[in-house]
Amino acid sequence: MKFPVGFKWGSATSAHQIEGNNYNDWSEWEKARPEEFRSGKACDSYNRYEEDFDIAKKLNQNIHRFSIEWSRIEPKEGRFDHEAMHHYVNVVKALRERGIEPMVTLWHFTNPVWFAEKGGFLKDRVGLWITFNEATTTVASNSYLKGIWPPEKRNIFDALKFRRNIIKAHTLAYQEIKNIYNVPQSLQGPALGTSHNVEVGISEFNFHFVAGKMFGWTSKMLNNLTNNYAWNNTMSYCDFLALQYYTIFRLPGSFSGLPKQLVMEEMGWEIYPKGIYHRLMELKKLKKPIFVTENGIADGKDKLREKFIKEHLRWVWQAIRDGADVRGYMYWSLLDNFEWARGYGPRFGLVEVDFKTFERKIRPSALEYAKICRENKL
Ligand code: BGC
Protein backbone atom coordinates (compact mmCIF):
# COMPACT_ATOMS: atom_id res chain seq x y z
CA MET A 1 0.00 0.00 0.00
CA LYS A 2 1.89 3.01 -1.24
CA PHE A 3 1.16 6.50 0.04
CA PRO A 4 1.31 9.50 -2.32
CA VAL A 5 4.74 10.93 -3.13
CA GLY A 6 5.55 13.65 -0.59
CA PHE A 7 3.21 12.29 2.08
CA LYS A 8 4.33 13.59 5.50
CA TRP A 9 5.11 11.29 8.41
CA GLY A 10 5.51 12.44 11.96
CA SER A 11 4.23 12.70 15.49
CA ALA A 12 2.50 15.31 17.64
CA THR A 13 2.97 16.78 21.10
CA SER A 14 1.69 19.74 23.10
CA ALA A 15 3.56 22.19 25.31
CA HIS A 16 1.93 21.58 28.67
CA GLN A 17 2.11 17.83 28.25
CA ILE A 18 5.86 17.68 27.70
CA GLU A 19 7.66 20.94 28.55
CA GLY A 20 7.61 20.92 32.34
CA ASN A 21 7.43 23.79 34.85
CA ASN A 22 4.65 25.70 33.17
CA TYR A 23 2.63 28.32 34.99
CA ASN A 24 -0.87 28.47 33.52
CA ASP A 25 -4.50 27.76 34.38
CA TRP A 26 -3.84 24.02 34.31
CA SER A 27 -0.86 24.17 36.67
CA GLU A 28 -3.00 26.26 39.05
CA TRP A 29 -5.81 23.74 38.80
CA GLU A 30 -3.40 20.87 39.35
CA LYS A 31 -2.33 22.30 42.72
CA ALA A 32 -5.46 20.95 44.40
CA ARG A 33 -4.94 17.49 42.94
CA PRO A 34 -2.83 14.60 44.18
CA GLU A 35 0.79 14.84 43.15
CA GLU A 36 0.61 12.11 40.56
CA PHE A 37 -1.95 14.17 38.67
CA ARG A 38 0.22 17.28 38.40
CA SER A 39 2.22 18.06 35.30
CA GLY A 40 5.35 19.14 37.24
CA LYS A 41 8.46 18.68 35.20
CA ALA A 42 6.61 16.61 32.58
CA CYS A 43 9.22 15.31 30.06
CA ASP A 44 11.49 18.32 30.65
CA SER A 45 11.24 18.87 26.92
CA TYR A 46 11.58 22.63 27.27
CA ASN A 47 15.24 21.82 27.86
CA ARG A 48 15.49 18.56 25.96
CA TYR A 49 13.73 19.29 22.68
CA GLU A 50 16.87 18.78 20.63
CA GLU A 51 17.27 15.29 22.03
CA ASP A 52 13.60 14.64 21.24
CA PHE A 53 13.95 15.83 17.66
CA ASP A 54 17.06 13.70 17.21
CA ILE A 55 14.85 10.75 18.11
CA ALA A 56 12.09 11.87 15.71
CA LYS A 57 14.66 12.18 12.96
CA LYS A 58 16.10 8.80 13.76
CA LEU A 59 12.56 7.45 13.46
CA ASN A 60 12.41 8.85 9.90
CA GLN A 61 9.83 11.49 10.72
CA ASN A 62 9.62 14.54 8.48
CA ILE A 63 6.78 16.54 10.06
CA HIS A 64 6.29 17.40 13.72
CA ARG A 65 3.37 19.08 15.42
CA PHE A 66 4.03 20.96 18.67
CA SER A 67 2.33 23.80 20.48
CA ILE A 68 3.41 27.20 21.75
CA GLU A 69 2.74 27.82 25.44
CA TRP A 70 0.96 31.17 25.51
CA SER A 71 1.65 31.64 29.24
CA ARG A 72 5.38 31.57 28.49
CA ILE A 73 5.35 34.12 25.70
CA GLU A 74 2.85 36.47 27.36
CA PRO A 75 3.29 35.82 31.10
CA LYS A 76 1.55 39.11 32.01
CA GLU A 77 -1.09 40.75 29.88
CA GLY A 78 0.61 42.74 27.14
CA ARG A 79 4.11 41.86 28.38
CA PHE A 80 5.87 39.55 25.99
CA ASP A 81 8.80 37.45 27.00
CA HIS A 82 11.33 37.66 24.20
CA GLU A 83 13.43 34.86 25.54
CA ALA A 84 10.46 32.49 25.47
CA MET A 85 9.56 33.62 21.95
CA HIS A 86 13.11 33.01 20.95
CA HIS A 87 12.92 29.56 22.46
CA TYR A 88 10.18 28.63 20.00
CA VAL A 89 12.13 30.15 17.12
CA ASN A 90 14.92 27.79 18.17
CA VAL A 91 12.50 24.89 18.35
CA VAL A 92 11.46 25.58 14.76
CA LYS A 93 15.09 25.91 13.72
CA ALA A 94 15.97 22.67 15.45
CA LEU A 95 13.24 20.90 13.49
CA ARG A 96 14.23 22.47 10.18
CA GLU A 97 17.88 21.58 10.77
CA ARG A 98 16.81 17.98 11.04
CA GLY A 99 14.75 18.13 7.88
CA ILE A 100 11.47 18.02 9.84
CA GLU A 101 8.61 20.33 8.85
CA PRO A 102 7.08 22.15 11.83
CA MET A 103 3.32 22.35 12.30
CA VAL A 104 2.56 24.80 15.10
CA THR A 105 -0.52 24.73 17.33
CA LEU A 106 -1.25 28.15 18.80
CA TRP A 107 -3.47 26.87 21.57
CA HIS A 108 -3.51 23.41 23.08
CA PHE A 109 -5.81 23.57 26.11
CA THR A 110 -3.82 25.90 28.42
CA ASN A 111 -4.20 29.64 29.15
CA PRO A 112 -2.02 32.14 30.97
CA VAL A 113 -3.33 32.63 34.50
CA TRP A 114 -4.01 36.35 33.90
CA PHE A 115 -6.20 35.44 30.96
CA ALA A 116 -8.04 32.73 32.85
CA GLU A 117 -8.69 35.15 35.69
CA LYS A 118 -10.22 37.66 33.30
CA GLY A 119 -13.02 35.55 32.62
CA GLY A 120 2.44 33.46 17.40
CA PHE A 121 4.77 35.10 16.64
CA LEU A 122 7.40 33.19 14.72
CA LYS A 123 8.58 34.64 11.49
CA ASP A 124 8.62 33.17 8.04
CA ARG A 125 9.80 29.72 9.01
CA VAL A 126 6.43 28.15 9.75
CA GLY A 127 4.09 27.17 6.95
CA LEU A 128 1.45 25.16 8.77
CA TRP A 129 -0.54 26.52 11.69
CA ILE A 130 -3.26 25.10 13.90
CA THR A 131 -5.13 27.82 15.73
CA PHE A 132 -7.09 25.84 18.30
CA ASN A 133 -6.73 22.26 19.42
CA GLU A 134 -10.05 20.48 19.95
CA ALA A 135 -11.51 23.57 21.57
CA THR A 136 -15.00 23.33 20.13
CA THR A 137 -15.26 19.63 20.92
CA THR A 138 -13.17 18.24 23.80
CA VAL A 139 -12.75 21.48 25.74
CA ALA A 140 -16.30 22.79 25.24
CA SER A 141 -17.48 19.49 26.61
CA ASN A 142 -14.95 18.70 29.38
CA SER A 143 -14.51 22.26 30.70
CA TYR A 144 -17.96 23.78 30.20
CA LEU A 145 -20.45 20.94 30.05
CA LYS A 146 -19.15 18.02 32.09
CA GLY A 147 -17.07 20.22 34.40
CA ILE A 148 -14.20 17.77 34.69
CA TRP A 149 -11.50 20.16 33.40
CA PRO A 150 -10.77 23.73 34.50
CA PRO A 151 -12.72 25.93 35.05
CA GLU A 152 -15.17 23.12 35.92
CA LYS A 153 -18.37 24.70 34.55
CA ARG A 154 -21.49 22.77 33.91
CA ASN A 155 -23.59 25.04 31.82
CA ILE A 156 -24.76 24.52 28.27
CA PHE A 157 -24.97 28.26 27.61
CA ASP A 158 -21.37 28.73 28.68
CA ALA A 159 -20.37 25.83 26.45
CA LEU A 160 -22.15 27.36 23.45
CA LYS A 161 -20.73 30.79 24.14
CA PHE A 162 -17.23 29.31 24.48
CA ARG A 163 -17.58 27.65 21.08
CA ARG A 164 -18.81 30.84 19.43
CA ASN A 165 -15.90 32.81 20.83
CA ILE A 166 -13.40 30.20 19.71
CA ILE A 167 -14.76 30.42 16.18
CA LYS A 168 -14.45 34.22 16.30
CA ALA A 169 -10.90 34.01 17.62
CA HIS A 170 -9.95 31.51 14.95
CA THR A 171 -11.40 33.70 12.23
CA LEU A 172 -9.55 36.77 13.52
CA ALA A 173 -6.27 34.89 13.85
CA TYR A 174 -6.69 33.54 10.35
CA GLN A 175 -7.31 36.96 8.84
CA GLU A 176 -4.50 38.54 10.83
CA ILE A 177 -1.90 35.98 9.76
CA LYS A 178 -3.07 36.06 6.14
CA ASN A 179 -2.88 39.87 6.14
CA ILE A 180 0.59 39.90 7.62
CA TYR A 181 1.90 37.49 5.04
CA ASN A 182 -0.42 38.53 2.27
CA VAL A 183 -1.13 35.04 1.00
CA PRO A 184 -4.29 33.53 -0.42
CA GLN A 185 -5.99 30.35 0.72
CA SER A 186 -3.63 27.50 -0.01
CA LEU A 187 -1.03 25.31 1.55
CA GLN A 188 1.69 27.61 0.21
CA GLY A 189 2.86 30.04 2.84
CA PRO A 190 1.15 30.19 6.20
CA ALA A 191 -1.67 27.71 6.05
CA LEU A 192 -4.13 27.50 8.91
CA GLY A 193 -6.47 24.89 10.23
CA THR A 194 -8.28 24.12 13.44
CA SER A 195 -8.10 20.62 14.81
CA HIS A 196 -11.01 18.64 16.08
CA ASN A 197 -11.34 15.42 17.90
CA VAL A 198 -14.07 13.43 16.27
CA GLU A 199 -15.79 10.24 17.08
CA VAL A 200 -17.92 8.06 14.85
CA GLY A 201 -20.47 5.46 15.56
CA ILE A 202 -22.90 5.35 12.73
CA SER A 203 -21.25 3.61 9.91
CA GLU A 204 -21.51 -0.08 10.49
CA PHE A 205 -25.19 0.01 11.16
CA ASN A 206 -27.61 -2.04 9.21
CA PHE A 207 -29.54 0.70 7.46
CA HIS A 208 -32.30 -1.59 6.24
CA PHE A 209 -34.04 -1.22 9.54
CA VAL A 210 -36.07 1.86 10.35
CA ALA A 211 -34.36 2.02 13.73
CA GLY A 212 -31.04 1.91 11.93
CA LYS A 213 -32.02 4.85 9.78
CA MET A 214 -33.15 6.83 12.77
CA PHE A 215 -29.92 6.04 14.55
CA GLY A 216 -28.03 7.19 11.46
CA TRP A 217 -29.92 10.49 11.29
CA THR A 218 -29.50 11.15 14.98
CA SER A 219 -25.78 10.50 14.76
CA LYS A 220 -25.48 12.75 11.73
CA MET A 221 -27.33 15.50 13.51
CA LEU A 222 -25.17 15.08 16.61
CA ASN A 223 -22.07 15.09 14.43
CA ASN A 224 -23.13 18.37 12.90
CA LEU A 225 -23.83 19.89 16.30
CA THR A 226 -20.54 18.69 17.76
CA ASN A 227 -17.73 17.40 15.53
CA ASN A 228 -18.56 19.35 12.40
CA TYR A 229 -19.71 22.57 14.04
CA ALA A 230 -16.38 24.35 13.80
CA TRP A 231 -15.61 23.18 10.30
CA ASN A 232 -19.02 24.19 9.08
CA ASN A 233 -18.53 27.63 10.60
CA THR A 234 -14.97 28.29 9.46
CA MET A 235 -14.89 26.91 5.95
CA SER A 236 -13.82 30.22 4.38
CA TYR A 237 -11.15 30.60 7.06
CA CYS A 238 -9.35 27.29 6.75
CA ASP A 239 -6.64 26.19 4.34
CA PHE A 240 -6.70 22.63 5.55
CA LEU A 241 -8.63 20.42 7.91
CA ALA A 242 -6.96 18.77 10.87
CA LEU A 243 -8.54 15.53 11.98
CA GLN A 244 -7.83 13.90 15.32
CA TYR A 245 -9.27 10.47 15.70
CA TYR A 246 -9.08 8.00 18.56
CA THR A 247 -12.30 6.19 19.23
CA ILE A 248 -15.98 5.68 18.53
CA PHE A 249 -19.00 6.82 20.37
CA ARG A 250 -22.11 4.76 20.79
CA LEU A 251 -25.38 6.55 21.27
CA PRO A 252 -26.72 5.56 24.67
CA GLY A 253 -29.56 3.11 24.34
CA SER A 254 -28.95 2.47 20.68
CA PHE A 255 -28.30 -0.98 19.37
CA SER A 256 -25.60 -0.89 16.80
CA GLY A 257 -24.72 -3.57 14.29
CA LEU A 258 -21.15 -3.08 15.31
CA PRO A 259 -19.91 -5.71 17.74
CA LYS A 260 -17.92 -4.56 20.76
CA GLN A 261 -14.40 -3.73 19.65
CA LEU A 262 -11.04 -3.99 21.34
CA VAL A 263 -10.59 -1.46 24.14
CA MET A 264 -7.66 0.86 24.75
CA GLU A 265 -7.39 -0.09 28.38
CA GLU A 266 -5.48 2.86 29.76
CA MET A 267 -8.23 5.20 28.52
CA GLY A 268 -11.24 2.88 28.35
CA TRP A 269 -11.77 3.81 24.69
CA GLU A 270 -13.08 1.45 22.05
CA ILE A 271 -10.66 0.97 19.16
CA TYR A 272 -12.24 1.12 15.74
CA PRO A 273 -9.71 1.73 12.93
CA LYS A 274 -12.30 1.89 10.17
CA GLY A 275 -13.80 4.93 11.86
CA ILE A 276 -10.97 7.07 10.55
CA TYR A 277 -11.96 6.11 7.03
CA HIS A 278 -15.56 7.18 7.53
CA ARG A 279 -14.49 10.52 8.92
CA LEU A 280 -11.99 11.15 6.13
CA MET A 281 -14.63 10.35 3.53
CA GLU A 282 -16.99 12.77 5.21
CA LEU A 283 -14.31 15.47 5.25
CA LYS A 284 -13.59 14.81 1.58
CA LYS A 285 -16.88 16.56 0.82
CA LEU A 286 -15.46 19.81 2.20
CA LYS A 287 -12.86 19.80 -0.59
CA LYS A 288 -9.83 20.86 1.43
CA PRO A 289 -6.51 19.17 2.07
CA ILE A 290 -6.58 17.12 5.25
CA PHE A 291 -3.91 16.27 7.81
CA VAL A 292 -4.44 13.61 10.44
CA THR A 293 -2.97 15.65 13.29
CA GLU A 294 -3.55 13.08 16.03
CA ASN A 295 -4.21 9.37 16.23
CA GLY A 296 -2.71 7.15 18.84
CA ILE A 297 -2.99 4.62 21.59
CA ALA A 298 -2.16 4.67 25.29
CA ASP A 299 -0.32 1.39 25.64
CA GLY A 300 2.55 1.41 28.14
CA LYS A 301 3.28 -2.24 27.46
CA ASP A 302 3.52 -1.57 23.71
CA LYS A 303 1.43 -4.66 22.99
CA LEU A 304 -1.10 -3.13 20.59
CA ARG A 305 0.57 0.01 19.27
CA GLU A 306 2.09 -1.45 16.12
CA LYS A 307 -1.19 -3.07 15.12
CA PHE A 308 -3.13 0.07 16.04
CA ILE A 309 -0.97 2.26 13.81
CA LYS A 310 -0.98 -0.14 10.90
CA GLU A 311 -4.72 -0.73 10.96
CA HIS A 312 -5.49 2.97 11.09
CA LEU A 313 -3.01 3.68 8.31
CA ARG A 314 -4.58 0.97 6.21
CA TRP A 315 -7.84 2.93 6.35
CA VAL A 316 -6.11 6.25 5.75
CA TRP A 317 -4.61 4.68 2.63
CA GLN A 318 -8.04 3.44 1.57
CA ALA A 319 -9.51 6.92 2.04
CA ILE A 320 -6.76 8.39 -0.15
CA ARG A 321 -7.54 5.79 -2.80
CA ASP A 322 -11.17 6.78 -2.57
CA GLY A 323 -10.36 10.41 -3.18
CA ALA A 324 -9.71 12.02 0.22
CA ASP A 325 -6.91 14.56 -0.12
CA VAL A 326 -4.89 13.44 2.91
CA ARG A 327 -1.46 15.08 3.04
CA GLY A 328 0.07 13.67 6.20
CA TYR A 329 -0.31 11.66 9.38
CA MET A 330 0.97 12.53 12.84
CA TYR A 331 0.94 9.89 15.51
CA TRP A 332 0.01 11.04 19.01
CA SER A 333 2.47 11.25 20.59
CA LEU A 334 6.22 11.28 20.15
CA LEU A 335 6.69 10.98 23.93
CA ASP A 336 4.81 9.61 26.92
CA ASN A 337 3.49 12.76 28.54
CA PHE A 338 1.12 14.47 30.97
CA GLU A 339 -2.33 13.18 30.03
CA TRP A 340 -4.33 16.13 31.40
CA ALA A 341 -6.73 15.17 34.22
CA ARG A 342 -5.48 11.58 34.10
CA GLY A 343 -1.93 12.51 35.01
CA TYR A 344 0.93 10.26 33.95
CA GLY A 345 -0.98 6.95 33.83
CA PRO A 346 -1.79 6.67 30.13
CA ARG A 347 1.28 6.25 27.92
CA PHE A 348 0.74 7.30 24.33
CA GLY A 349 4.43 7.65 23.40
CA LEU A 350 6.38 6.13 20.57
CA VAL A 351 9.09 6.82 23.09
CA GLU A 352 8.90 5.76 26.72
CA VAL A 353 9.86 8.46 29.21
CA ASP A 354 11.13 7.79 32.73
CA PHE A 355 9.58 10.71 34.61
CA LYS A 356 12.22 10.61 37.34
CA THR A 357 15.37 10.58 35.23
CA PHE A 358 13.77 11.85 31.98
CA GLU A 359 15.52 9.06 30.14
CA ARG A 360 13.94 8.36 26.74
CA LYS A 361 13.62 4.82 25.37
CA ILE A 362 12.36 4.09 21.87
CA ARG A 363 9.58 1.50 21.93
CA PRO A 364 9.64 -1.41 19.41
CA SER A 365 6.43 -0.16 17.75
CA ALA A 366 8.19 3.15 17.02
CA LEU A 367 10.70 1.30 14.89
CA GLU A 368 7.90 -0.33 12.95
CA TYR A 369 6.30 3.06 12.37
CA ALA A 370 9.74 4.38 11.39
CA LYS A 371 9.89 1.80 8.58
CA ILE A 372 6.57 3.00 7.24
CA CYS A 373 7.76 6.61 7.45
CA ARG A 374 10.94 5.73 5.56
CA GLU A 375 9.30 3.66 2.84
CA ASN A 376 6.15 5.75 2.50
CA LYS A 377 4.18 2.54 2.37
CA LEU A 378 2.55 -0.04 4.59
C1 BGC B 1 -5.56 15.88 22.84
C2 BGC B 1 -4.23 15.50 23.49
C3 BGC B 1 -4.46 14.28 24.37
C4 BGC B 1 -4.96 13.13 23.51
C5 BGC B 1 -5.22 11.84 24.28
C6 BGC B 1 -6.34 14.70 22.32
O7 BGC B 1 -7.69 14.89 22.52
O8 BGC B 1 -5.33 16.85 21.86
O9 BGC B 1 -3.73 16.59 24.22
O10 BGC B 1 -3.31 13.92 25.08
O11 BGC B 1 -6.19 13.48 22.93
O12 BGC B 1 -6.24 12.01 25.21
Which pTM value belongs to this model? 0.84
Distance 320 CA to ligand 1 centre (A): 24
Average pLDDT across the chain, whole number: 89
* Short-list 299, 298, 296, CA closest to 332: 296
**Preceding omega of 333 cis (within 30 degrees of 0):** yes
Over residues 276-315, the pLDDT tens digits come to 998 899 889 989 999 999 999 999 999 999 999 999 999 9
Give 235's DSSP letter.
G
Predicted confidence band of residue 33 (pLDDT cuts 50, 70, 90): very high
Over residues 87-137, the pLDDT tens digits come to 999 999 999 999 999 999 999 999 999 988 876 334 666 778 888 888 888
Which residue's CA is the closest to the ligand 1 atom numbered 7?
A: 197
Distance 317 CA to ligand 1 centre (A): 23
Distance CA 43, CA 21 (A): 10
The minimum-distance atom of ligand 1 relative to the CA of 298 is: 5
Cα–Cα distances (Å) from 80 to 20, 111, 223, in that order, read: 20, 14, 39
The best mutation among 16, 19, 340 to test binding of ligand 1, ranked by most ligand atoms within 8 Å of the C-beta, falls on 340
Q: Is 195 in the pocket of ligand 1 (CB under 6 A)?
A: no
Provide the percentage of residues in the chain whose pLDDT is more than 90.
65
Distance CA 250, CA 258 (A): 10
Give 208's DSSP letter.
T
Q: Is 138 in the pocket of ligand 1 (CB under 6 A)?
A: yes
Which residue's CA is the closest to the ligand 1 atom numbered 10?
A: 339
Distance CA 56, CA 373 (A): 11
Distance 209 CA to ligand 1 centre (A): 36
Distance CA 201, CA 128 (A): 30
pLDDT for residue 88: 97
